Copies of this chain bind each other. A is one copy, B any other.
Amino acid sequence: MSPVIQPPNGTRDLYPIEAARRRFITEAWRRVSINHGFEEIDGPTFEHLELYTVKSGEGIVSELFSFRREGGEKDFALRPEFTPTLARMYAAKAKSLSSPTKWFTAGPFFRAERPQRGRLREFLQWNCDVVGAALPEKPTPLDVAAANTRADSEIISCCIDLLREMGLTAQDVTVRVSNRLLIADILEEIDIPRNRHDIALAALDRSAKLNEQEMAEFCRKQGLPATFVSRFNEFRKKYEDLPAVRGTTGQMLDRTRGIGSVLALYNMLTENGYQEWIEPDYSVVRGLAYYTGMVFEVIVDGERAVAGGGRYDNLIEMFGGPPTPAVGFGMGDVVLSLVLQDKGLMPTDAELLEIAGMRPDVFVISNGTPEADARLGGVVAELRRGGKAKAGDGVDTGRMPVPRDGVGGGLHVRRSYKATKKIGKLLQEAGDVRARFAVILESGTEATIKNLQTGEQDQSRTAIDQLAMELRKRLAVVR
């Protein structure tokens, strides 16, 4: 035997249970996206390297898997995030797309960081984005701000509804909502000059990871006051008590500026029933360089980040499109899975396989006569392709919509591969794989259908050429 070759560090082999777990999560992502009016798109798994070096910022670029095809002229990189692809795709078709365009995607992404609990080198990420806005012909700044508030609210709502659908509650989850415009206002208030704002954001982004001394050292090196972070934290508090801010400023706030846009968003999320989930927190700045306004982070149990996103109103234009407002978020599968498992919210293995559509409709058994033995393979094949019945006969299986007349309607059929002819053992095997029905072939052209969920046995036998139709009728009731 040769030594077993290992999968690359930080990647996953998905055996059937892990694949069913992936399906559970990706289908929930898909269902919630669609319910919220997002349409699915996707891009290549690798892109030209320059797509990321242009605008994502150093945090991403240092973690790229990049490569060049032998003899090729350009470098490629495995995609570390989706936003640049989305911006490229939107820019390429901006003229023909509706306003707003609401897109989602879910697929593999790659970062060459050191693998650890909650972080892998290949992971799945779900992205939802609202790009563009329906505006009157000559929009006022307030029209723009209102459309942006609605888009920000839709993005945060969609993200929360996924977590709710997974069984998490506002007790588990905090959506920390921030805004880079408001952060800029606070920076001005504490006398950080405009040309130091970018580096101040970088310092704030790093503040959770560094201790006080390291932070002071970082600030000194970057030409920021050593007490910058604690000063910022002191000043931001007064804007985080929104009822107090509201009491001070009433309805008169300019919604096109930081605090006004924060209040407008908070109002809308409250009206729509999300107020328990959200919390203003202007220490959140997000690492990516391209964010321009609202940014948010979704934290479980006060420490585990499961999602994050924000507004990036300049990115479409940077990638060759017209000036276009845009907002979105990404949610990975790794931390989400760990959270669901830790909280007992991940379905059991049997439930996962059923949710993934893996529960057999029928298990076909011979009664052990040579005639039934000989017929077994043919009956299995016929039921798998839906029998001789035509579409419209009997009852639809209710699983996938049948794409067109005469197609589909096949059943999930299993059989034993063992040599045993004992019907009891074979029924046991049917039960072990959780088949809904067993069919026992007799020596004539008839068969007995047994409902394995109720244990009930049909009194009348069924002609073999009616089996598919009879099973479909019964399946429409039990599934």
| A interface residues with partner B (beta carbon < 8 Å) | 1-8, 11-16, 19-20, 22-24, 27-28, 30-32, 34-37, 39-48, 50-51, 54, 65-67, 69, 74, 76, 78, 85, 88-89, 91-93, 99-100, 103, 108, 110, 112, 122, 133-134, 136, 147, 150, 153, 157, 161, 164-167, 268, 271-274, 317-322, 347, 351, 354-358, 360, 374, 377-378, 380-382, 384-385, 398-401, 403-404, 407-408, 410-415, 417-419
CB within 8 A of A67: which of B65, B99, B273, B347? B65
Complex Cα distance, B102 from A15, in Å, reads 11
Write the chain B residue with the least CB distance to A92. B4
Q: With A65-B67, A404-B347 in contact, do A35 and B384 touch (Cβ < 8 Å)?
A: yes
CB within 8 A of A321: which of B1, B35, B99, B417? B1
Chain B residues with CB under 8 A of A382 = 272-273
Complex Cα distance, B417 from A399, in Å, reads 33
Apart from A37-B412, A99-B417, A355-B400: 19 A-B pairs, beta carbons within 8 A: A2-B318, A5-B319, A7-B44, A8-B48, A11-B45, A12-B44, A13-B92, A24-B403, A28-B403, A31-B357, A35-B412, A37-B415, A44-B122, A45-B45, A45-B110, A100-B417, A161-B410, A165-B408, A165-B410
Whether the pair B403, A351 counts as a contact (CB closer than 8 A) is yes
CB within 8 A of A43: which of B7, B44, B54? B7
Whether the pair A13, B44 counts as a contact (CB closer than 8 A) is yes
Chain B residues with CB under 8 A of A13 = 41-44, 85, 89, 92
A324 to chain B, nearest CB (A): 11
Complex Cα distance, B463 from A118, in Å, reads 45
Write the chain B residue with the least CB distance to A103. B16
Complex Cα distance, B357 from A409, in Å, reads 18
CB within 8 A of A88: which of B4, B150, B374? B4
Complex Cα distance, B3 from A15, in Å, reads 44
CB within 8 A of A76: which of B8, B45, B408? B8
A291 to chain B, nearest CB (A): 19
Complex Cα distance, B317 from A98, in Å, reads 55
Complex Cα distance, B53 from A109, in Å, reads 25
In the complex, the 6 A-B pairs of residues with the closest C-beta atoms, listed nearest first: A67-B67, A11-B44, A4-B320, A134-B417, A272-B381, A16-B39
Complex Cα distance, B165 from A411, in Å, reads 12
Whether the pair A358, B4 counts as a contact (CB closer than 8 A) is no
A358 to chain B, nearest CB (A): 6
Chain B residues with CB under 8 A of A414 = 37
Complex Cα distance, B5 from A38, in Å, reads 25
Q: With A5-B88, A398-B398 in contact, do A271 and B14 touch (Cβ < 8 Å)?
A: no
Name 17 interchain pairs, CB-CB below 8 A, sorted by A. Answer: A1-B321, A2-B317, A8-B46, A14-B43, A31-B400, A34-B412, A35-B412, A37-B412, A44-B122, A134-B417, A164-B385, A164-B407, A167-B403, A167-B407, A272-B378, A273-B378, A273-B382
Complex Cα distance, B34 from A274, in Å, reads 39
Chain B residues with CB under 8 A of A108 = 45, 108
Complex Cα distance, B412 from A30, in Å, reads 11
Complex Cα distance, B7 from A67, in Å, reads 15
A265 to chain B, nearest CB (A): 12
Whether the pair B5, A78 counts as a contact (CB closer than 8 A) is no
Chain B residues with CB under 8 A of A5 = 47-48, 50-51, 54, 88, 319-320
A169 to chain B, nearest CB (A): 11
Whether the pair B23, A40 counts as a contact (CB closer than 8 A) is yes
Q: With A16-B39, A67-B66, A356-B40 in contact, do A46 and B78 touch (Cβ < 8 Å)?
A: yes
Whether the pair B31, A15 counts as a contact (CB closer than 8 A) is no
Complex Cα distance, B220 from A75, in Å, reads 41
Q: With A19-B40, A44-B11, A91-B4 in contact, do A377 and B76 touch (Cβ < 8 Å)?
A: no
Chain B residues with CB under 8 A of A319 = 2, 4-5
Complex Cα distance, B74 from A7, in Å, reads 12
Write the chain B residue with the least CB distance to A91. B4
Whether the pair A8, B47 counts as a contact (CB closer than 8 A) is yes
Complex Cα distance, B16 from A354, in Å, reads 28
Whether the pair B66, A41 counts as a contact (CB closer than 8 A) is no
